[in-house]
Amino acid sequence: MRCPYCDYLESKVLDSRPTDEGASIRRRRECIRCNQRFTTYERVEDLPLMVKKKSGGSQVFDRNKILNGLIKSCEKRPVSLQQMEEIVDDIEKALRNKMVRETTSEEIGEMIMARLKDVDEVAYVRFASVYRQFRDVESFMRELEELVRDKKE
């Protein structure tokens, strides 16, 4: 770490403490050359996760978009806000654990539907009808038949 006073590259750590509920570490340092003390903070680098849209464009991952979609799908259903937030947390964690910087909106949509299917079938069908953009009753019925078949298995 470069000394802010004399620009020397070497310093020794005098004290380290976690801050921000463990999100970063505060280090008290002393320059080897000029003996001045200074404080540094160490954080995990949080790279933005990009989402490639169906239209071809890209945008930064926004967990609020997923949560808003879940809220609409789960309206008047016995699904708590906490359950919806857990779904969003699980999806975001799974995406970040893949260690890729870009994912597709299709992958995120499939992840949402997989989790909604286990939580509430009506909310799942509502989300699927918007996500899959059913063009007619037949495509909607095929999705319902698949849901019933999966439930029997």
Write the pLDDT tens digit of every residue in 1-15: 899 999 999 999 999
Identify the bridge partners of residue 58 per DSSP, sorted by sequence position: 52
Q: Where is pLDDT greater, at 20 or 4?
A: 4
Q: Where is pLDDT greater, at 121 or 4?
A: 4
60-115 per-position pLDDT tens digit: 999 999 999 999 999 999 999 999 999 999 999 999 888 889 999 999 999 999 99
For range 123-129, the mean pLDDT: 86
pLDDT for the residue numbered 104: 94
Ranges of each domain in the chain? 11-43, 50-152
Confidence check: pLDDT of 141 > 80: no
Longest dimension (CA), the chain: 78
Q: What is the mean pLDDT of the chain?
A: 89
* Residue position matching structure tokens 């003390």: 37
Question: Based on C-alpha coordinates, what's the Rg of the chain?
Answer: 24
Residue 65, φ and ψ in degrees, nearest 5: -65, -40
Contact at 8 Å (CB) between 11 and 32? yes
Percentage of the chain surpassing pLDDT 70?
Answer: 98
